[in-house]
Amino acid sequence: MRPTVESRLGFENRRVEISGSGCNAKRCDGRDEFPLIRRVCRGLGRVAYGPGRAGARPSRLGFSLVEMLVVVTIIAAIAAMITTAVMSALQQQNARVCQNNMLTIEAAKDEYIRDHPGATSIDPNAFAQYFRFGIPKCPDGGSYQATLYSLTQPVSCSRHGALQAFPSATP
């Protein structure tokens, strides 16, 4: 007689004991259509594997301390790399926002010069009208005050420096 799959896997003598409320069967044969899955009636009972062994457990219950430390170390290293990349991206974004703010201020200065020909200095109250949402501020806490109202100097930030020229599209 040819051995069955269950006997080759070692399931021929195993029985499953099921106890709990709502279950009519005291003992169930372990040879069901899914031999590796043992079910408990309505999730309320206790399952025991093997002949005469109530509550037999596998030989290995969880992870060792060394395995857990290795996993935690790997996760910490990945988190550190992601954190540095995100912080670098945020700093670059703030620098770009500051550059755009300085470009906006320079454009407002040009408009002010067109509207007030021959002006030698900027009136702060009149200059504020050239900005829809007020005079821009540096996102990193820098200040534009030193060169904001000067018509002869380009605007600069105390944190990010002077306005940088953008590369042109033509070589």
Q: Which domain holds residue 36?
A: 5-48
Q: CA-based angle 150:156:161, to the nearest 5?
A: 155
pLDDT for position 4: 56
Residues 43, 105, single domain; the answer is no
**pLDDT tens-digit readout, 58-101:** 556 788 999 999 999 999 999 999 999 999 999 999 999 999 99
pLDDT for position 148: 87
4-8, long-range: CB within 8 Å, 24+ apart, which pairs?
5/35, 6/30, 6/31, 6/35
pLDDT for position 42: 45
Residues 95, 140, single domain; the answer is yes
DSSP 164: P
pLDDT for position 48: 46
pLDDT for position 9: 56
pTM (global) more than 0.75: no
Ranges of the chain whose pLDDT falls below 70: 1-60, 165-171
Q: Which residues contact 149 (CB under 8 A, 6 or more apart)?
A: 121, 122, 124, 127
Residues 96, 35, single domain; the answer is no
Q: Token pair of 67, please?
A: 């395995």
Residues 19, 98, single domain; the answer is no
What is the domain count for the chain?
2
Q: Give the torsion sign (CA, 87, 90, 94, 100).
A: positive
pLDDT for position 36: 47
Residues 71, 136, single domain; the answer is yes
Residues 135, 69, single domain; the answer is yes
